[in-house]
Structure 1
Amino acid sequence: MTKEWIPNIDIGQDYDASYNDAIIHFDKLGRMADFFGRDMPMHLHSQFCQIHLVKTGKTLFNIDQNNYETNGCAIFYTPPATPHAFLTEPSSPGYVITIHSSFLQTIMSHLDAYRINDSLLMPFCISKETTNSERSSHWDTMSNLFSMLKHEWALNAQYKSQAIEGIVTMIFINMLRLCDAPQVKKQHNYSEVESFRAFSTLVENHFTSQRQTSFYCDQLNMNDSRLHYICKKIANISPKKIINGRALLEAKRLLSHTNMNLTEISYTLGYIDPSYFSRFFIKNVGVSPSEFRQNNRHEQDLTSVETNDY
């Protein structure tokens, strides 16, 4: 069987070379669609998150295992390295902001977003049509912020990059307000947040080869009880479940978006014994890998309408 994988698109290299080293890229939704085509299959951006604002029309957005369908103005947030496909009516106006993960980490550190139910680590959709009336005013603010960003992007003025970063930060804040993220009740010191961030980065880099917490403790120079305490305090989940969860997420992506067979997927994820991997998957997901693939394949068929993404 021919292996397939989800293509990784680098905005600077594959689309706009003038912003090859930029941490933020801003563009019209339709302009990107014209460049990449309106029937682009599932793809990801390994080091970038994205914010899509669609102003009008019906939209279907598939982010990983999540399907979002909206009618009218909506915002879609895609974390870094997350497969997605985006379909909208051909004439729907909107904008796309592509943000490097380094700046996302800066925003999360300033907002301490790790404390807010991992708000910026998971995808979400905000629809104006279904927004609570008490939060509807934030849509006016969001519209103004995108207008400011569009204006600043076109300028060649002093402190342009600082202004753009400030506006994008405000967009993130308003997204969290529209999501009605809960107020922080528990305080975490800076070292705990940095340790959790370092652990998360290590898991992202090594989850296919290292699934024992002892490896991560050695790399972080801390004992197991300390790592467990930090993960439970900040993310309310054990380090072992974080490691296994990352492997399961990758397994779901491979099952949903590729034609790799079970043996190939097992080896890709570092499991030498495919039967052990199957038992691990069934225990944590509740169905076999083949059943999961069968149940989710139809959800990935997004070719029935034109796409305005890339």
Structure 2
Amino acid sequence: MSGHVSALMEEEVWEADGPVVITIHPSLVHGFDFSEQAIGFVLTVDPHVVFSAGGSEAHGELFSPLFLRPMAIELARVPELRERMETLLRLLIAESAAPRTGHTLMLEWLARSVMLLLVRLEADHRSAELSGRGDFELFTRFRALVEQHFKQQWQVAVYADKLRITPSRLNRLCLKLAGHSAFDLAQQRLILEACRKLTYVPSGISTIAYELGFQDPAYFSRLFKRHMGVTPKQYRRTHVEQ
């Protein structure tokens, strides 16, 4: 579980540093080249033992994700699980060296316990990936809604309702992926449009304020200065002249 390994998978070579677990279906042509400093275990299990799992088809299916494709599962971030796995593997070695009553059954139980820990780790990783992708898709939908409705100046609760989530979750999502709250992102889009209009549209500042959904042009000016550091009039003068 430490050192370096080069793993041949059919015609592909994987390079990995421990602690790592590599899972391979026995039907796949494979080979390993370990560094001199490498310390670890090679566990070979009869497929019939894996997928029969004591005669239970449901239990056999539990292990199938480990063998659908070769995987390299890193263990550095899960030291507790790594320690438990090492303990089980050492118990396997000890049991193999001194057969006693129930020897075969004990070996099967220990091997399945190792694989079950890997199944849990792989499931957690897959869940995290799906969660991350789901968060990104949700955030993309939020940005699309902001693009459509920023002039209406929706409250965060309205955006959250349209996305069928709570305002607090929406804010956590925005902070996680953009570093700003949902309110701040909507405000930034509003101010960006104000900057564009002040630069390219010859309308008066009050007219622009109304077009952006403000009922009070003075409030628009104060908000703009809070974000940009200058008043709309000063901003227009500087950017139009440029």
TM-score of the two chains, using structure 1 as the length reference: 0.36
Relative contact order, higher structure (CA 8 A, sep 6+): 1
Tell me which structure has the larger Cα radius of gyration.
Answer: 2
Query: Which is helix-richer, 1 or 2?
Result: 2
TM-score, normalisation: structure 2: 0.45
- The structure with more strand, counted as a fraction of residues: 1
